[in-house]
């Protein structure tokens, strides 16, 4: 695995790989790697000849400066983890390298950026679009791999690729969970022990909600999720929505066409956790 901190040498190396006819897979991350990230790397390795991983804590997607400051930065342990998987190139740039000039681009994703995360984290998805499009222009991947845990982000990135007509295939990858069901996240490391102990209630409740969806209305299922999780004194639901998986428009009935996804954000103390589940309505 070769480490690059600047753009030009990385691009030169990837140009040589591309001229050999190799397919390049890309896994953009913000570091603090865990098994969820590594599953993306393994998926990329199974589908591509060359795997590039980036570690870059992107300041433009944080609407909370404290969240940016507290985001875990663990380069050495990240490198150690990646060394056990097939990763040919690790890109670890500075903010100045990625943004030599301030990125003032404004993207319009319509309803996709107005609901859920977009409502509670204004400007977040514009920052995501800025950094993802910038990284794509640097790496020029054939395929890029993203986890389904960030379901709304995945929808935004798919729209970004269509909007900019980028020649990259976006590959969604399944959520990786801890043994107790908690969706893996770099933020899990920041949880206090008491919050970590009760955090699995989130996924447990989502699974129960999916069962209830066979006999209860959309509104009744939503009420159930809110009541169950908020009953814990250590957890607070910021939002729970059941949405169309493509438009992200909230659904009012299980009879509406399309796949329905329950998306949730929960505060465990000061740490914000997100998760989602697909509802299978027979």
CB 183 within 8 A of CB 191: no
Structure tokens at 46: 């199974």
Q: Running along the chain, 282 residues long, what does each successive block of 10 average in pLDDT?
A: 97 98 97 94 98 93 76 87 97 95 95 93 92 98 97 96 97 97 93 98 98 96 98 98 95 94 97 94 58
How far from 86 is each of 146, 186, 222, CA to CA, in Å?
17, 21, 42
How far from 88 is each of 13, 23, 142, 246, CA to CA, in Å?
11, 12, 15, 33
pTM of the model: 0.93
DSSP-assigned beta bridge partners for residue 272 = 267
Structurally, at CATH architecture level, domain 186-275 sits in 2-Layer Sandwich (3.30)
> What pLDDT, on a 0 to 100 scale, did the predictor assign at position 138?
98
- The residue among 159, 108, 154 whose CA lies nearest residue 274 is 154
Residue 212 has phi, psi (to 5 degrees) of -65, -25
> What pLDDT, on a 0 to 100 scale, did the predictor assign at position 47?
98
Residue-wise pLDDT for 239-271, tens only, equals 999 999 999 999 999 999 999 999 999 999 999
For the chain, give every domain's residue range. 2-173, 186-275
- Residue tagged active-site, from 37, 85, 124, 195: 37
Percent of the chain with pLDDT over 90: 89
Q: CATH number of 2-173: 3.40.50.620, 3.40.190.10, 3.30.1490.20, 3.40.50.150? A: 3.40.50.620
> What pLDDT, on a 0 to 100 scale, did the predictor assign at position 281?
63
Residue 37 annotated in active site: yes
CB 208 within 8 A of CB 216: no
> What pLDDT, on a 0 to 100 scale, did the predictor assign at position 280?
76
Residue-wise pLDDT for 157-187, tens only, equals 999 999 999 999 999 999 999 999 999 998 8
Kind and range of the H or E run holding 128 = helix 124-139
> What pLDDT, on a 0 to 100 scale, did the predictor assign at position 231?
98
> What pLDDT, on a 0 to 100 scale, did the predictor assign at position 64?
72
């Amino acid at each position: 695995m070769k480490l690059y901190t600047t753009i030009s040498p990385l691009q030169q190396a990837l140009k040589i790989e591309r001229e050999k006819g190799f397919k390049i897979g890309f896994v953009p991350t913000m570091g603090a790697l865990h098994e969820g990230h590594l599953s993306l790397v393994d998926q990329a390795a199974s589908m591509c000849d060359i795997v590039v991983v980036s570690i870059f804590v992107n300041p433009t997607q944080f609407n909370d400066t404290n969240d940016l400051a507290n985001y875990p930065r663990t380069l050495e342990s990240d490198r150690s983890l990646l060394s056990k998987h097939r990763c040919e190139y690790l890109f670890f740039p500075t903010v100045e390298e990625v943004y030599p000039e301030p990125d003032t681009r404004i993207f319009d994703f319509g309803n996709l950026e107005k609901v859920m995360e977009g409502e509670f984290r204004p400007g977040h998805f514009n920052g995501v679009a800025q950094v993802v499009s910038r990284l794509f222009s640097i790496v020029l991947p054939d395929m890029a791999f993203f986890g389904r845990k960030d379901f709304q982000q995945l929808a935004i990135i798919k729209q970004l690729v269509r909007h900019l007509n980028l020649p990259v295939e976006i590959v969604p990858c399944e959520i990786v969970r801890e043994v107790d069901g908690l969706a893996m996240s770099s933020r899990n490391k920041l949880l206090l022990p008491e919050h970590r102990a009760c955090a699995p209630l989130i996924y447990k409740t989502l699974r129960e909600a999916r069962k209830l969806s066979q006999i209860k209305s959309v509104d009744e299922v939503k009420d159930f999720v809110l009541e169950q999780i908020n009953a814990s004194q250590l957890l607070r639901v910021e939002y729970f929505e059941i949405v169309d998986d493509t438009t992200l428009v909230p659904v009012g009935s299980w009879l509406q066409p399309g796949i329905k996804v329950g998306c949730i954000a929960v505060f465990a103390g000061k740490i914000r956790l997100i998760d989602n589940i697909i509802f299978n309505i027979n």
